[in-house]
Structures are given as structure tokens and as C-alpha cells.
Amino acid sequence: MIKKVKWFLSTVFAVALISTILIGCSKETSTSGNGKEVNIKFWTQSDPTYKKAAQTLIDKFEKENPNIKVKMESFPEYSTKVSTAFNTGNAPDVLEMFGSSIKLAQGGKILPVPESVMSKEEIEKTFTPDSLKNRTYNGKYYGLPNEISMESPGLLISEDLVNKAGLTIPESWIKNNGPSSWAELQDFAEKLTVVENGVMKQAGLGVIGGQEEAMFLSLIWQYGGDYRDEQNTKVNFTSTEAKKAIEFMQGLITGDQRVHDKGFSKRFDGFVGKSVAMTIGAPWYAASISSDVQDFKYQYFNLPPFVDGSKPYFVTEGGWGYLVSSKSKHPEESWKLVKFLLQKENQDYWTKEVGSISSRTDAAVNSNYDPAVGSIEKAIAISTMISRNGRDAGAYTGDTSQLIWTIVRQNLAAILQGEVSADEGLKNMEDQANQMIERNNKK
């Protein structure tokens, strides 16, 4: 039930490991041709929905290409397996991987997309700009994106816990795809929060314990700031807006009006375990519920802006995508598989199955959903409606995954857990991020 969340946490850790792999690899040429059988290896993560979607498409590919046999493998500690494989030169021919491919490209671990597969012009016409920024190195694209990662733009509500509290989800929320303001949402969350003798028994809104780093960055933007400084190739986390973001988040997890608690259940775990009545989340939460949780009634909405008068800005970048190893003995067949997987019909199938927002500019969006019921179809459709509010996390830093899911994550946690002051934690965050950027620019 919690597989996607566990995978996500391990993936962002392994991204940092991959970032240290900078020794080039030699390319081996394909030995296939003339109709001879070719065997290639494909890796994906172990989540059942991803495995099922990948295997379905691989079976379809093999029927159309009988001389190419694809062996799919998945691993429970997928991200660690991937980082080790690249480090030891034992990566598969093709693999699904989350986030930036820039560091692997710098190290010569993966191949650029050949013109024979897709030209640069074709790539930029087919895929959205946000999905490509973290796959560009020295003017070439390394790997192709399957989805856009929209970090926590959604709101999920447990119908059972709302009913138990004697409340009703406002009809206006259903009509407008969510609350009209943060104040309206927080008021509802406070009514759903249960605290007995100072101890939280039920959180009204899941705030921490799952991608709150993205919430922190969204708050900086919504307060009118911007941590990104591409002109000077730096980041700024000691701004007034960053401090306001910390204060906002602290107010939700401490004090008499808290709706979550720093020692309470994590967002997704608590939500499906029915100790968190509502949670900030993303479309893939809906996919996890559909595949892993039985008879769970919920609603899915878009989050309102945290800050009155702002647009609901959130982090958007290329998420899952396909890479071809520079060690592949069959690069031609490997790229043929990648191109097949990213055909519109196949990509539309994959995104629906796993609960993702397609990276294609011509992606199909299913509008045939019941607005009164939470579902994968609704989550994808209404999230796509607000995708224009997404902002690049900072591809110029060279490694947004390490920036957000390691540096920001660790320092933000230290602040919210009370281990360091906001000023100290933000200074540490800024210094570590700028040191990372400086290292990346020396490569």
C-alpha cells in the first residue's frame, strides 16, 4: 500500500549517489541485424502498477518486433540498484528513471537521443518544455520523458472521516474542483482535527511526511519571492519570503490551531490508514489508492493557493523517463523500444495506469469522470488544468533532485523538527545548495 511513497524516498536518496558517478563509459556498438534475434534488458521499479503497465507495452512491442526479446526486471530497492549498476558498469540496456539525467550524461553513462530516433526539433515539438529541462546537456537530450512530475498540487479527502465528524464536503468544492481559498480549507481542516489532552489523535490535513519540500518552494513563489538565481548561477534560501514560508508551515504543525503534528503519521500513510482526514498530494496518490487500497472512498481536488492573491504555483519538472545505457550492446534496438513506448497511444495508456501527467504536448485527457467521486481519471484531468502554474525547480543547478530531495529536504526537516533555528537551517540549505552548484559547474 505504501510502496510508491517508500520508493520515492529511496529514489531521491539514490539520485544523490548517482550524482557522484562521473567516470566515463565506453560505447559498444550493436551486433544485431539481418533478422537475428536480439535480447535487451529493461528495468523498472517494483510497484505493481508500473510493472503491469511496462509489461503490457513490452508484450505489444515484441509482437510487432518478433526478432527483439525484452527481458523486464524490477527491484524493491530500485533506486539503489540503479545507482550501483551505473557505478559498476552493469546497467541494463533501457531503464525507467525518475528526474534529472544530467549527471549521468556528464559521466558518459547514458547515450544522447540519436537523430535517427527523434531530432531535436521533433523532441521539442512532441514534449513540453518543463519535461525536457532536466534532460538537456551540451545541447543534446539524454533520455526522453514519460511524464511531468507535478509536486503536490492536489488535495485528497477521506469521505469516511468527514462523515464521521458530521461534516459534508462543500458542494462548491465539487463544482469548482476545490476550495476557493486557503482560509476556507484550513477552517475545514481544523474541524477535522482531533486533539485529546494535548495529543493529536486525528490530523485534519496531512502537511509533512511527504514532499513538503515542494510546499516550501511553492510558498516562496507565492509570497512573491524566487529562490532561483539563474543569472548568477546560485540559489537564495535566506530571503524574507523563505522565512515566511517556514513560519507558514510551522503554524500548521504547532500550536493550538495545528492541523498536523510533527510527530504524527505521514501524509499518505496516515490518509489511507484513516488517521489523517485530508492530505496534500498528487495524482499518483489516486493511482496508489486504486491499486493498493480496497473500498476507500475519497475525493480529489486541486489545492487553492497558500497565499491570498497568488496563483497556486508549484514545482514541475520531468519525472519518469527512459534512458539508454552507454554500455548497451544493442543501442539501435534499445532506442526502438523507447520510441515505441513513447508513441502517443502507448504513453496515454501508461500515464493513465500509473496516475501521471503526460509529458506530451498532444496528450489525451479523459474528461469522462464523475466530479463527485475521487478517481485516477479525475486526478489527472483536473491536475492537467492547472499545469500552467507549474515552475521549473532550477534545471540550471545541474541536479534538481539532489537540490530538492536531499539538500532542501534534510535542512527543512531539521527546522520543522526544532533541531535548528529557521535562520540557521536556511543558511545551511543555501550554502549546501550553492556548493553543489559550484561542483556541478566544474564538471
Domain-by-domain residue ranges, the chain? 3-146+319-364, 154-315+393-442
- pLDDT above 70 (res 29): no
Per-residue model confidence as pLDDT tens digits over 147-202: 999 888 999 999 999 999 999 999 999 999 999 999 999 999 999 999 999 999 99
Please state the pTM of the whole predicted model.
0.86
Distance CA 302, CA 8 (A): 22
pLDDT on residue 23: 38
Q: For the residues 276-301, what does the mean pLDDT come to?
A: 93
Q: For the residues 276-286, what does the mean pLDDT come to?
A: 95
Q: For the residues 225-232, what does the mean pLDDT come to?
A: 98
- pLDDT above 60 (res 76): yes
DSSP E strands in 164-291: the ranges are: 194-196, 199-202, 228-229, 234-235, 278-281
Banded model confidence at residue 8, pLDDT cuts 50, 70, 90: very low
Banded model confidence at residue 443, pLDDT cuts 50, 70, 90: low
Of residues 3 and 361, more confidently modeled:
361
Please indicate whether the domains covering 3-146+319-364 and 154-315+393-442 agree at the CATH topology level.
Answer: yes
Distance CA 132, CA 342 (A): 14
Q: Which uninterrupted H or E stretch holds 52? A: helix 48-64
Lowest mean pLDDT among 29-38, 190-199, 275-284: 29-38
- pLDDT above 50 (res 25): no
pLDDT on residue 375: 94
- pLDDT above 70 (res 123): yes
Span 154-315+393-442 CATH architecture: 3-Layer(aba) Sandwich (3.40)
Percent helix, strand, coil in the chain (nearest 5)? 45, 15, 35
Nearest Cα neighbor of 105 from 24, 15, 11 is 24
Nearest Cα neighbor of 69 from 324, 267, 333, 261 is 333
CATH fold for the domain made of 3-146+319-364: D-Maltodextrin-Binding Protein; domain 2 (3.40.190)
% residues pLDDT > 90 (the chain): 77
Quote the mean pLDDT of the chain. Answer: 91
Q: For the residues 62-76, what does the mean pLDDT come to?
A: 97
Per-residue model confidence as pLDDT tens digits over 306-332: 999 999 999 998 999 999 999 999 999
Distance CA 344, CA 347 (A): 5
What b-and-e string marks burial along 112-149, b requiring 16 or more CB atoms within 10 Å of the CB?
Answer: bbeeebbeeeebeebbbebbbbbbbbeeebbbbbbbbb
Of residues 284 and 124, more confidently modeled:
124
% residues pLDDT > 70 (the chain): 92
Pairing type for strands 38-45 and 68-75 reads parallel
Pairing type for strands 68-75 and 234-235 reads unpaired
Per-residue model confidence as pLDDT tens digits over 394-422: 989 988 989 998 999 999 999 999 999 99
